[in-house]
Structure formats: structure tokens, C-alpha cells
Structure 1
Amino acid sequence: MLAALGFATITIFLIAIMTKRVSVLVALVLIPVVFGLLAGAGPDLGKMMLDGIIKVAPVGVMIIFAVLYFGLMLDVGLFDPMVSALLKAVKGDPVKVALATAALAMIVSLDGDGATTFLITISAMLPLYQRLGMDRLVLSGIVCLGAGVMNILPWGGPTVRAMAALKADSSVVFNPVVPAMLAGIAWVLFVAFMFGLRERRRLGVVTLHQPVSVGAAATPASRLGGDAGDPPGDLDGKKIALGNPLLFWFNVALTVVLIIGLLMSLLPLPVLFILAFSIALLVNYPRWEDQQKHLVSHASSVVTVSTMIFAAGIFTGVLTGTKMIEAMASATVSVIPDAAVGYLPIIVAVLSMPLSLVFTPDAFYFGVLPVLAHAASTLGLDPVLIGRAAILGQMTTGFPLSPLTASTFILIGLSGVTLGDHQRFIFPWAFGTTLVMTAVAYATGAI
């Protein structure tokens, strides 16, 4: 019963957002509440929802101040010279922009944190896409693919969980899938090239005659209904850092320190952004009135993203608290026929990416994976094969599409796209990444 309710919750949620019957915020809150009541969790539903909110609270705080920080830096003109240089380097060619997006996303993903990858890559590349008129779904899609394949790294969340569940180290779980991961990286670059080629056919190679004017801050609400050429949201239309070299280089130094702090985890991510934004706001806008104007100008953007993240906490809190996720895990394992257990590594690899839409990483790696590994072991298969198969898609290539991870809402929020559009656009290509890696992993004997 619980398993059926859990699968129904996920299915109706996906249908609701993909058909745009309701907003993502409404679907994230009301659908799990209805099914939570059907599961008999009425008296405890409030606590479950609050537990979910508490779990995502650090991410919510981080994104609020990240939006404010990068919004301020874009408003004052910090990224204008970089965008001008990039535009000259790519010479207005969407193919080069798409390939640069993929490369940057994969490089930043080396730190193993999806939220950091999305914050840095989207903030850096979005002005280019706006200036050239490129589709923002291409931006979110390419970043999704790059971050997904790099999340297989042994210090990424899924592989760490797989190693913990199987009590194996990275040399056993990760090293054998390196050739498959390299194939996945090549696939991401190929897809980026194809996306860029399609945009080049649509837009042509843009000839840039006018100086670059970077669009509004990399925040969602300002662009959800706007065009690529929306005017900047800075105070009084002035990019104050461009006319003050001392202020400009201070902002550069502060941003570099912030990024280093993010990559090295010198402090918790929310704390880093709170400190950096407070310093930047005071230095760039010493007058109280200007500080208030900046905060007000980005208020709608902050509300749009942060509310979705807290709503996602309610969604996962109810699914976890009602034990629906545990029931779904047991049901998934029980439907595998004994005759198919010998093919479990391939089955798990192929299904791993779509299952990211159903299971949280903890639920899969600590709930489903041990059972599958035990089943394989009883038939003489090495249980580690199941772990290798799982990391080819489960919350790796699949995590930037899953409504069960808060970082997905950071990606779509900063890109200014909706979850349903993002999933429809990139799902086949993300699934393709897993299929390519599965084929290579099977050919090399990793699974």
C-alpha cells in the first residue's frame, strides 16, 4: 500500500509539472500532503514536513545569499569584461559557447558539489547566452550533463554512499568505471557540440558591433518572463564598478576568495555567502538607501528560488517520514525475477538514471543497493558490480533532473527555466550518457 502511494505521488507530481497544470511549488507541497493523509500520517504530517524543511534549510539559506551576491556583482559590472573577452574568443559562435559551457561545468564539478557547480557555471555563462540570444534550456541542459557525469568521482555523494553500503574502497568501486566515465565526458562534449550546432543554425554566428551589456543578475524571476536582452537591474542603470578600478578589483578579489572558500569548504557554504554578500553590499553601496534598493530589486528572485527549495523539503520529508520511500525500495527489489538476477549489473545500470526521479540517494544506496548486492552475491556475482552499475546513473547523471535534490532547483532557478521544461529537454540526453557509459563499462568488464 505504501509503495503504491509512493509511486503514485511521484507519478502525479511529474505529470502535473510536465503538463503545467500547477506550479512546481504547489505540486511539491499539496501532492505529498494529500498522499500523506491517504497513508494515515495525519497526526504526524506536520512534523514530517518540518523535518524536511530543516534538512534543506542550509541549502535554502545558501541560495538566497548566493542569488543576492552574484546579482550584486552582475549589477555593478564585475562580469562585463570577462563576458566581453569570452565573446571575442568565441566570436559569437554558439558552438564554441556550448562547448565552453560543458568544459567549465565539468572543471568546476571537480569539487564534487553540485550546488557550487551550478552557482559558478550559470553565473559565468548566462550573460553570454543572453547576449547571443541562445536558449536558456541549452545552458541548463549542458550544465546538467557535465555535472552529472562528474558526480561519479569518488568524493561525490553517490560513489561515497555506494562505497559505504558495500564496505569497499574507491579502487574497487570507482577505478574500474574510469573508462566508462571518460566515455561519458566525450558524450557530454558531443551533445554540447550538437546543441551548439542547432543554435548556430537558428541564430547564425553573431557579429558583435556594440559593446557588451551584461543582462540582469543571474537570478530567475527577472528572466522567467523576460527576453534575452532585458536591461540590467542595477541601481539607476549604473555599473558602478566599471568606473572605479579600485572597487572593480576589490570585487574581483572578494569573488576569487569566495570561490576558493567554496571549493576548499573553508566554512559552511551558507556562511560563506552570507559573509561575502554582507561585505560586498557594504563596500559597493555604502549608503543605507542604496543597500535597500538593491535588496528590493532582487526580492522577487530570492523568493522564487527559496520557496521552491523549502517546498522540495516538504516533498522529501513526507515521502521519507511516511516510509513510502522504504516501501518503494522493497517493492522494486521484489519484482525482479530470480532468472534475471544474473543480469542485475546491466539492469541496474540502465535503470539507475530514471530511478533518480524516484529515490533519494540515501534511500537507494542504503536501502535498495544492499538488497540487490546480496541477491547478486547469492548467485555467485561480485556485489561490487551492482555498486559500479548504480553510480553510472543513480543520482549521478540523474541528480540534476530529480525533484528530490535541492540543487536541481538551484540549476533551474538560476537558469530561469521551469523544471518540467528542463526535464523534457534534457532527459533523453542524460539517459543517453548512462547508456553510453553502461556499454563501455560492460565492454571493459567493469559490470
Structure 2
Amino acid sequence: MLTFLGFSMIVVFMYLIMSKRLSAFSALTVVPIVFALLGGFTDLGPMMMKGLETIAPTAIMIIFAILYFGVLIDTGLFDPLVAKIIKMVGGDPLKIVMGTAVLSLIVALDGDGTITYLIVVTAFLPLYNRLGMNKLILACIPALAMGIMNLTPWGGPAVQATAAVKADVTDLLLPLIPSMIAGTIWVLGVSYFLGRRERKRLGVINIDTEFNDEIAAALDVGMDASIKRPKLFWFNLILTLLLLTALVLGFLPLPALFMIGFAIVMIVNYPNLQDQKERLHAHAGNILTVVSMIFAAGIFTGIIDGTGIVKAMADTLIAVIPDALGPKLTVIVALISMPFTFFMANAPFYFGIIPIMSETAAHFGIPPLEIGQASLLGQPLHLLSPLQGSIYVLVGLLGIDIGDHIRFAAKYAIGTALVMTIVAVLFGILSI
């Protein structure tokens, strides 16, 4: 009975999200409650609270990570970097594509695809247009970069995977650093390949300094210059490097690190209380959207755990998976995460499928942590999915067709995911 109830719940949950009948927040909250009641479970309060308590540290970390990186972008931390890259690449298509990759990888550290696309496309589109370069490349490279940097601890998929397998985000992600480095090298290699192809097609064109200055000035369009803090560039950069170092070393829990970092950034950059309020209001929308879904996920996981639904579903899968394939479950999860995260939103994958796979893997002696890590390796494909919003920002900025973008970039994104998976196997993160 519980198994049937569980699989029915997942089907309904996925249908409601995929068909856009309900938002991810509403589906995560309402669907498990309805099915738990159908199963005869009435005392749902303690289950929900246990799920919320489990997810609370992650939600706190997300709030202050968004605020921290959002305020840094407001201060103009990336502006000198953008201007420097623009001046370095000149009229060489190879250097332009490589510059696109470097800027994308750095800006994507904030884990926000929309912000990454806005900064990178605004900086490089005039150059691509001036030289007649293929704009699909300018769409492809930032998307590939986001497919890797989306795995940062404050990125959405990492948070969802952490919640799904009930792991600490640092424990989940630190072993994946070799895979992320390999993915970064792959992206730079793809950029070199595409850049050389464009250089062969177009040649190197001389571009005057005045035009480069016009491009750099274009970055300020629509930005309020009064909120930028160029004089504090080195302070903000050093603070960020220290914060990332403390994060990797586990100096303090992530929520505490970002709370402290955000407090320092606000005090130093915006000592006026009214300015601080304005910065908070500017980023409140992003915070509400993300964190509300995280808390809803807490209710979802709390109910399916408390009712025993996820265990019943896992027992069923255990019965049908051959023993020979059991030890290879992490690699299987890594491979299926590519099409799954492309054809469905992250929420149904991480909160609908991964808890079941995690419970199933436990039967074969595989820790849930490894399933969570494997589930993240297909993210490069997710950044090309029509189901995630930032892709429409990207194609809209460039004026290209979404189908053309997906067809052009898919093979390189698959390559990224496979490289990251292979490295994870070689480093013993995934069992085979």
C-alpha cells in the first residue's frame, strides 16, 4: 500500500510541476500532505517539524550567501575584471572566446545563472557583433560554466541534493572539487577549440581602444553608480577569498561564515543604515523565491520519511535491482542524472527520485552521501533545460532560438558531465 502510495505521489508531484499546474513550493507542500492523509496518517505536525529542523541550517546559509554575493555585485567587484578582460582580448576571436570562458567561470561562482548571463553577455556581445562571431558560442560558454559552478554550496542543486540525502553540504561537495576542476579544464578546452575555429573563419581584426572603452562603459547601463564602491575593491576581493578559504577548511559552519561575511560587507561598503535597507530590499525577492522552496522541501522530506513511504519504495526497488548492479548504483545515478535533470525540474528529481535511490543504495552498503554527490554530476545538462528560467534570459539577451542553443551546446555539456563523472570514479568518489 505504501509503495503504491509513494509512486503515485511522485507521478502526481512531477506532473503538477512539469505541467505548471502548481509551483514547486505548492507541490512540495501540498502533495505529500494529501497523500499522507490518503494513507491514513493524521499526525503530520511532528513529521513536518522534523523536516523543517533538518533543513533550517541550509536555508539560513542560502539567505546570507545570496545577500553576500548580491551586495558584492552591487559594489562593482567584477567591473575591473570585466574591463581588463575586454582590453586583453582585442579583436582575436580565440582570445575573445577564452575571455568569455574565464569571465563566465569567475562570475558563475555566485551560483546565479541570470546574473552570470547578464554580466557576460553585456560585456561580450558588442565584440561578437563587431567581428561577426557566432552568438551561439556566447550562449554556450556561460551555460557550460554555470553547469560546473552551479555545484557551489550556495547553488540550488547542491542545496536540494543536501536536503534529499540529509547530509552536510561541505561533506557533500568537498570530494567533488577534483571533478569541478576537471570540468573547468574541459570548458576551457572547448572554448579554445571553438575560438580557434572562429579565428580560422574570421581572422584577427584590429579593434580600436575607443571601441573597447565603449564596451566597458556599456556595463554601467541601467546600473546606479551611487551604489558602487570601487575604492573598496581590494577589501571586498580579499574578504571573499578569505571567506572561500574558511569555507573549504571548515573553519566555521557555512551559515555562520556567510552571516559574518555579509555583516562585514554591509558595514564597510554601506555604513549608512538607509543604504543597508535598500540593499536588503533589492535582494529580498531572490531570497524569498529560493528559501521558501527549501522550507517546502523540508516538509516534503519530513513527511515521506516519517510515514515510511520512502522506505517502502526503496524496498521495492531493492527487490528488482540485480545484486550485480547494486555496487554500481552511484555511477548509474550519475548517468541518469543527465537526462533526468534535463527533462524535469531539479525539485522533482532531488526530492522525488534521489531519496528513493538513496534508500535503495543503503541496502547495498552505499552511503546516502555518495548518491547525493552522484546526482549533481548531471547538472551541466540541466543548464540547457527549457524547464529552468535563466535559459530564457540568455537566449533573449542574444536574440537566438532556444532550440539552436540547445542543439549547439548539448554535446559539449554532455562532455562536461562525462568528464566530471569519470574523474569522480578515478578519485573513488563513485563506486564501480
Question: What band does the TM-score fall into relative to the shorter chain?
Answer: 0.5 to 0.7
- Is 1:261 matched up with 2:246? yes
CA contact (8 A) 2:114 2:393 kept: no
Aligned with residue 272 of structure 1, among 238, 257, 261:
257
CA-CA distance at 1:26 after TM superposition:
1.5
Instruction: Confirm or deny: 8 A CA contact 1:98 1:195 kept in the other structure.
Output: no
- Aligned 8 A contact 2:144 2:416 in 1: no
SS state at 1:266 partner: coil
Residue in 2 that maps onto 1:369: 361
- From the superposition, tell whether residues 400 and 48 of structure 1 become closer, same or farther in structure 2 (CA, over 3 Å): farther
Matched ranges for 1:109-188 at <5 A: 119=111, 127-132=119-124, 139=142, 142-145=145-148
Distance 1:268 1:248 in 2: 26
Q: 2:68 matched to which residue of 1?
A: 69
CA separation in 1, counterparts of 2:59 and 2:281?
19
Tell which deviates more after alignment, 126-135 or 52-61. 126-135
SS in 1 for 2:49: helix
Instruction: Report % sequence identity.
Output: 35
Q: RMSD of the TM alignment (CA)?
A: 5.1
Question: Do the aligned partners of residues 36 and 391 (structure 1) sit closer, same or farther apart at CA in structure 2, a change above 3 Å counting?
Answer: closer
Residue of structure 1 in register with 2:377 after alignment: 397
Query: In structure 2, do the counterparts of structure 1 residues 391 and 320 end up closer, same or farther at CA, with 3 Å as the change threshold?
Result: closer
Residue 34 (structure 1) aligned with residue 1 (structure 2)? no
CA distance in 2, matches of 1:279, 1:439: 40
User: What's 2:16 paired with?
Assistant: 16
Task: Give 1:330 shift.
Answer: 0.8
Q: Is the 8 A contact 1:6 1:328 kept in 2?
A: yes
8 Å Cα contact 1:397-1:431 kept in structure 2: no
Who is 1:231 aligned against?
222
When residues 19 and 280 of structure 1 are mapped into structure 2, their CA distance, relative to the original with a 3 A threshold, is same
Secondary structure of 2:375 counterpart: coil
Checking the alignment, whether the CA contact within 8 Å between 1:148 and 1:400 is kept in structure 2 is: no
Q: 1:16 to 1:307 in 2, by over 3 A?
A: same
Q: How does 1:331-410 map to 2 (within 5 A)?
A: 331-336=316-321, 341-342=323-324, 349-354=331-336, 357=349, 364-365=357-358, 367-372=359-364, 394-398=374-378
- State the TM-score, normalized to the length of structure 2: 0.63
Structure 1 counterpart SS, 2:279: helix
Q: Deviations over 1:172-194 (max 9, x none)?
A: xx9xxx9x999977776677789
Distance 1:140 1:50, change over 3 A: farther
Q: What's the CA shift for 1:267?
A: 1.1
Q: Which runs of 5+ in 2 are unaligned?
A: 126-134, 153-160, 166-174, 341-348, 383-387, 395-401
| Alpha-carbon offset, residue 131 of structure 1 | 3.6
Q: In structure 1, what residue type is equivalent to 2:146?
A: V
The answer as to whether partners of 2:123 and 2:218 remain within 8 angstroms in 1 is: yes
Alpha-carbon separation, structure 1, partners of 2:5 and 2:284: 37
CA distance in 1, matches of 2:221, 2:11: 36
Partners of 1:350 and 1:435 within 8 A in 2: no
Residues 372-429 of structure 1, C-alpha deviations (whole Å, 9 max, x = no match):
46xxxxxxxxxxxx89xx7698324147899xxxxxxxxx7999989xx9xxx79998
Among 267, 291, 295, the alignment partner of 1:306 is 291
In the alignment, which residue of structure 2 is the partner of 1:169? none
1:30-53 deviation per Cα after TM superposition (whole angstroms, max 9, x unaligned): 122222222322212x22222222
Pick closer, same or farther for the CA change 1:269–1:430 going to 2, 3 Å. Answer: same
Partner in structure 2 of residue 5 of structure 1: 5
C-alpha contact 2:51 2:300 (8 A) present in aligned 1: yes
The residue correspondences of 1:50-89 to structure 2 (distance < 5 A) are: 50-89=49-88
Give the letter for the 1:62 counterpart. Answer: M
Match for 1:296 among 278, 281, 291? Answer: 281
1:96 corresponding residue in structure 2: 98
Give unmatched runs, 5+ long, in structure 1.
109-116, 150-157, 163-173, 216-228, 374-385, 403-411
**Aligned residue in 2 for 1:327:** 312
Distance 1:52 1:364, change over 3 A: same
Deviation at 1:331, TM superposition (A): 0.8
SS for the counterpart of 1:317 is helix
After superposition, the Cα gap between the structure-2 partners of 1:251 and 1:297, relative to the gap in structure 1 and judged at 3 Å, is same
Q: Measured at CA, do residues 252 and 435 of structure 1 come closer, stay the same or move farther in structure 2, by a change above 3 Å? A: closer
Deviation at 1:88, TM superposition (A): 4.0
CA deviation after TM superposition for structure 1 residue 10, in Å: 2.6
Quick check: 4-13 or 350-359, which moved more? 350-359
Q: Which amino acid aligns with 1:96?
A: M
Shift in CA distance, 189/48, structure 1 to aligned 2, threshold 3 Å: farther
- 2:216 matched residue in structure 1: 212
Distance in 1 (alpha carbons) for counterparts of 2:335 and 2:140: 20
> How far does residue 103 in structure 1 lie from its aligned partner after superposition?
6.3
